[in-house]
Chains A and B, each alone.
Chain A
Amino acid sequence: MNNRSHTPFIRTVKISERSSKDTLKIRIAAFVLALAAGGIFMLLLGYNPFELYGTIISGAFRSKMAFQATVKFMIPLLMSSLGVAMAFKMRFWNIGAEGQIIVGAVCASYFALFHNNWPHFLLLIVMFAAGAIGGGLWGLIPAYFKSKYDTNETLFTLMLNYIALHIITYLRDGPWKDPDSSGFPKIARFAANAQIDKVFGVHFGWIIALILVIIVFIYLKYTKHGYEISVVGESKSTAKYAGMDVKRVILRTMILSGGICGITGMIQAAGSDMTLASSVAGGVGFTAIIVSWLAYLNPFGILLVSFLFSILDKGSSVMQSAYGLSTYFASVLQGIILFFILGCEFFIRYKFVLTKKGGK
């Protein structure tokens, strides 16, 4: 009896290497299964899943304006996912994109609100730099404590998100309150001079985002810095033996990661919201983590996944007006997709083996 209870019925065994074709097959199967699970959920609510999925997709593409709105959803998601991916590649769990976006937006907004008489081009460049520096410094704080005292970065970045959020509410209720607004306190709308110009109907943040995809790709794949990031991510001790300054790598990468998120905040405030709203990040920093993970931290994959997610976001807002279903459907579906992808990774790296009878 005792002997038997110690031999498990099923064992987990590592698979040495699956071909990339098999890997792709498993991942696609997981994605299809996720959509099917979402479909079952729709069926349970009494809707035809094909009809709802159709509405989501056509809702994102049905007109030029709809497509522009989809792209607008995509810009902050794409950019912050790129930022998060850099930290994640280093196995630095930056959950703080949300806060870094906010601080970047706050720093940029200072110039948008109080120096809006500067020449348009100069003002935007200063705002851009302010966003990058603000976000970068906000990312540097947890990196400093991580590299010096090994402070848990997951929890620390999480706390910094909320501290950042309340910085906005402080500014909104106090020093930056728009004296002309009646009712709920809010921050004044940016002057036209401080707003980001449009290219093809969408603020030019999309161009910056696309350029960033290429820059981050090259940085991670072909530069010495990028190589150092992946070595530190694999093993800190290996990196030390190879003579790398691990602390320096952590600090540098987090400045960049936070900086990209900070730029996201600036672009969201000056391109989309036209003011500093407390919802400037609005959960994007969290969704970015899902996006970059789904894309296996590959910048081009991130481009694809964030596009897919913004279709879901825009499509579900159309679904809301057509069927009265909540837009939270998008996050339900995003969650389901990632659950399945996370699960399928296991079948790429491991397999179950039934233990033979008798045990020994």
Chain B
Amino acid sequence: MFIKFLIAAVFAGTPLLFGTVGEIMNEKAGHLNLGVEGMMAMGACAGFMAGFFSNNIYIALLAAFLAGMLGALIYAVLTITFMANQNVTGLTLTIFGVGISNFVGEFMLVNSASSSLKLPEQITAQISNINIPGASTIPVLGPLLFQYNIFVYLGVVIAIICGIYYSRTKTGLNVRAIGENPGTADAAGIKVTKLKYINVLIGGGICGIGGAYCSMIINGGVWMNNPVNGQGWISVALVIFATWRPLRAILGSFIFGAFNILKYYFPKTIITIPNAFYDMLPFVITALVLVVTSIRKSKENSQPASCGVNYFREER
């Protein structure tokens, strides 16, 4: 029972992991992107449709990545080059992204033969849980570690790479310098604009893959409107919970995934808590983390300093 719960938590946390790591990449470069929900929605639609027509998981993943990147590109051009307000731009990206994803989804649905869209068999097999001979049958550890689908492993790998990138590589450290103070970074010869674009775009792409998870796995391979359904916003919250560290995001997203499914596993015999409180929990905890970190004023566990402020070179 408990192992089942842990496994379900990992599955529920995986889309959050993608969204969180994507948003961390944005924020490390100094851009608070509230468009995660929108980029995930765009990835959800593009990934599903590409998978539906190509019957190939890799093409689906690529399409989701590119769609998320496209959303991020709009955001990047407006905030990095045109220096538009980040909050408003991100929010508009969410409204636009969710809108276009549902619009295209419904458009395809109406124009499909059976008025339903279901992923074909081959790709369903590709995204079903992987069985590694030998490893998957180890008691306890086998199901706990070696029986997930491709998305789960991809998400963990991306998060680990991202963690190494920001703590061990020169480019990653440069990006962090930009996030803290772009003027100083620029003076030190770091290419601010270029690195900002790269990080925001790749971050958007990663969000897109998270969206594809929502549309392809959560809904059982059938297209439904609003596949992302708020997961992007939870991801924005999770960035705070993970204190801007990709490795902590892995644990954090699985914990939040556990919150999401807790209501199905919590023994009702001990105490009955209304479902709404379980659903509220991630947001309450995030709000508490936000307040506590600001009261303690810990520099280490707070947002990159320039986050939300655009950089104009001539005004250094």
Contacts and interface: CB of A to CB of B under 8 A. Distances in A.
Interface of A: 6, 11-14, 45, 93, 95, 145, 149-152, 154-156, 158-160, 162-163, 166-167, 169-170, 173-174, 283, 286-287, 289-290, 293, 324-326, 328-332, 334-336, 338-339, 342-343, 345-346, 350
Contacts of B107: 45, 325-326
Nearest to A13: B314
B199 interface: no
B313 interface: yes
Contact of A328 (B103, B233, B274, B284): B103
A326 B237 contact: no
Contacts of B313: 12
Interface in B261-287: 274-277, 279-280, 283-284, 286-287
22 contacts: A14-B315, A95-B34, A149-B297, A152-B303, A159-B284, A160-B283, A162-B230, A162-B280, A162-B283, A163-B283, A174-B276, A289-B91, A293-B88, A324-B110, A332-B100, A334-B95, A334-B96, A338-B92, A342-B89, A343-B84, A345-B82, A346-B81
Contacts of A156: 287, 290-291
A339 B34 contact: no
Interface of B: 32, 34, 74, 77-78, 81-85, 87-89, 91-100, 102-103, 105-107, 110, 189, 230, 233, 236-237, 240, 274-277, 279-280, 283-284, 286-287, 290-291, 294-295, 297, 303, 308, 312-315
Nearest to A323: B110
Given A12-B314, A45-B107, A329-B103, A346 B82 contact: yes
A331 B95 contact: yes
Given A154-B87, A155-B237, A343-B82, A328 B291 contact: no
A149 B291 contact: yes
B279 A335 contact: no
A158 B233 CA distance: 8
Contacts of A11: 314
A295 to B, nearest CB: 12
A152 B98 contact: no
Contact of B92 (A12, A45, A290, A350): A290
A51 B30 CA distance: 43
B267 to A, nearest CB: 20
Contacts of B276: 166-167, 169-170, 173-174
Contacts of B91: 95, 286, 289-290
A173 B95 CA distance: 29
B151 to A, nearest CB: 24
Contacts of A13: 314
A326 B103 contact: yes
**Residue in B100, B103, B240, B280 with the greatest tally of chain A CB atoms within 10 Å:** B103
Contact of A331 (B96, B290, B297, B303): B96
A145 B291 contact: yes
Given A95-B34, A158-B233, A335 B92 contact: yes
Given A289-B91, A338-B88, A339-B96, A160 B102 contact: no
A25 to B, nearest CB: 18
Contacts of A324: 110
A152 B294 contact: yes
Contact of A290 (B74, B95, B291): B95
Contacts of A339: 74, 78, 89, 92, 96
B44 to A, nearest CB: 14
A158 B236 contact: yes
Contact of A95 (B87, B189, B275, B279): B87
A163 B85 contact: no
